[in-house]
Amino acid sequence: MTTYGIIKLNSDDKPVVALVDVEGLQPSFTATDKEEISVYFFGRPPPEIGIQIAHSQDFHRRDHQRAPDYVNEHGTRFWMFHFSD
């Protein structure tokens, strides 16, 4: 599992606003992946986001004993977490 930070582009400050834990290591994210992640956190219309590997790989601290929030066309599972989660 790998943790990625989500950044909302087109905002004045660009802090990481959420985390996504993904099965395995994603060499890249498809446009569909980015859209689904953006819609999950920000709703429609989805703003443009940036995805970066998180400095802290602390995925073991979050609950993954639930259904994933998104599964892409390759079957990769994504669990999404607001910082308040």
- Confidence at residue 84, expressed as pLDDT on a 0 to 100 scale: 60
What is the arithmetic mean of pLDDT over 46-75? 95
Q: Which amino acid is at 3?
A: T
User: Comparing C-alpha atoms, which of 18, 39, 37 is closest to residue 85?
Assistant: 18
pLDDT tens for 2-54 read 999 999 888 777 788 999 999 999 889 999 999 999 999 999 999 999 999 99
- Confidence at residue 40, expressed as pLDDT on a 0 to 100 scale: 97
- Confidence at residue 41, expressed as pLDDT on a 0 to 100 scale: 95
Is the pLDDT at 85 greater than 60? The verdict is: no
Peptide bond into 45 cis (omega under 30): yes
- Confidence at residue 13, expressed as pLDDT on a 0 to 100 scale: 72
Which structural domain range is residue 44 located in?
2-82
Q: What are 1's two structure tokens?
A: 């599992």
The count of structural domains within the chain is 1
Q: What is the CA radius of gyration of the chain?
A: 12
Which residues neighbour 12 within 8 Å (Cβ) at sequence distance 6 or greater? none
